[in-house]
Amino acid sequence: MTHTCRDCKRTFSSELELELHQDNCKSGELFCDSCGTRFAERAATEDGWHYRCPEPDCEGDGIGEDIHRVEDVRLKA
Protein backbone atom coordinates (compact mmCIF):
# COMPACT_ATOMS: atom_id res chain seq x y z
CA MET A 1 0.00 0.00 0.00
CA THR A 2 1.43 3.35 -0.97
CA HIS A 3 0.64 6.78 0.40
CA THR A 4 0.43 9.62 -2.06
CA CYS A 5 1.04 13.28 -1.31
CA ARG A 6 -2.04 14.99 -2.67
CA ASP A 7 -0.08 18.16 -3.29
CA CYS A 8 2.81 16.93 -5.40
CA LYS A 9 1.71 13.33 -6.15
CA ARG A 10 4.91 11.77 -4.81
CA THR A 11 4.35 8.35 -3.29
CA PHE A 12 5.71 6.94 -0.02
CA SER A 13 5.72 3.47 1.41
CA SER A 14 4.59 4.49 4.89
CA GLU A 15 2.25 7.03 6.38
CA LEU A 16 5.05 8.39 8.56
CA GLU A 17 7.24 9.13 5.56
CA LEU A 18 4.33 10.90 3.93
CA GLU A 19 3.69 13.02 7.03
CA LEU A 20 7.34 14.01 7.25
CA HIS A 21 7.31 14.93 3.61
CA GLN A 22 4.14 17.00 3.87
CA ASP A 23 5.77 19.22 6.47
CA ASN A 24 8.16 20.51 3.85
CA CYS A 25 6.38 19.75 0.61
CA LYS A 26 6.92 22.73 -1.62
CA SER A 27 3.93 21.87 -3.73
CA GLY A 28 1.50 22.68 -0.94
CA GLU A 29 3.02 25.70 0.66
CA LEU A 30 0.06 28.01 0.17
CA PHE A 31 -3.57 27.55 1.01
CA CYS A 32 -6.80 29.34 0.34
CA ASP A 33 -9.01 30.40 3.21
CA SER A 34 -12.10 30.46 1.03
CA CYS A 35 -12.05 26.85 -0.15
CA GLY A 36 -9.36 25.26 2.06
CA THR A 37 -7.27 23.96 -0.85
CA ARG A 38 -3.49 23.70 -0.64
CA PHE A 39 -1.42 24.42 -3.72
CA ALA A 40 2.01 25.42 -4.93
CA GLU A 41 3.08 29.01 -5.10
CA ARG A 42 3.63 28.72 -8.83
CA ALA A 43 0.04 27.58 -9.28
CA ALA A 44 -1.28 30.72 -7.63
CA THR A 45 0.92 33.45 -9.07
CA GLU A 46 2.74 34.29 -12.26
CA ASP A 47 4.64 37.35 -11.13
CA GLY A 48 5.10 36.65 -7.40
CA TRP A 49 2.92 39.63 -6.59
CA HIS A 50 -0.67 38.90 -7.53
CA TYR A 51 -1.97 35.67 -6.03
CA ARG A 52 -5.14 33.90 -6.99
CA CYS A 53 -6.64 30.60 -5.88
CA PRO A 54 -6.15 28.03 -8.68
CA GLU A 55 -9.50 26.37 -7.96
CA PRO A 56 -11.80 27.23 -10.86
CA ASP A 57 -14.87 27.69 -8.65
CA CYS A 58 -13.12 29.77 -6.02
CA GLU A 59 -12.88 33.54 -5.94
CA GLY A 60 -10.09 33.62 -3.34
CA ASP A 61 -7.19 35.94 -4.06
CA GLY A 62 -4.58 38.15 -2.45
CA ILE A 63 -1.64 36.90 -0.39
CA GLY A 64 -2.36 37.62 3.27
CA GLU A 65 -6.07 38.04 2.43
CA ASP A 66 -7.59 34.79 1.14
CA ILE A 67 -4.27 33.11 0.33
CA HIS A 68 -1.96 32.27 3.21
CA ARG A 69 1.35 30.50 3.64
CA VAL A 70 1.03 27.21 5.51
CA GLU A 71 4.28 28.08 7.33
CA ASP A 72 2.89 31.31 8.76
CA VAL A 73 -0.23 29.58 10.03
CA ARG A 74 1.87 26.92 11.76
CA LEU A 75 3.92 29.55 13.53
CA LYS A 76 0.81 31.22 14.91
CA ALA A 77 -0.73 27.96 16.06
> Please, which of residues 12-71 interact with Zn ion by CB under 5 A?
25, 27, 32, 34-35, 53, 55, 58, 60
Q: Total binding residues for Zn ion by CB under 5 A?
A: 12
CA distance 3 to 5: 7
C-alpha 59: how far from its chain's center?
16
Shortest distance in whole angstroms from residue 48 CB to Zn ion: 19
Shortest distance in whole angstroms from residue 62 CB to Zn ion: 11
Q: Which residue, among 54, 21, 24, 19, has the nearest Cα to 39 in the 3D structure?
A: 54
Please identify, among the stretches 2-10, 12-20, 40-48, 68-76, the one whose residues bind Zn ion according to the rule CB under 5 A. 2-10
Q: What one-character DSSP code corresponds to residue 32? A: E
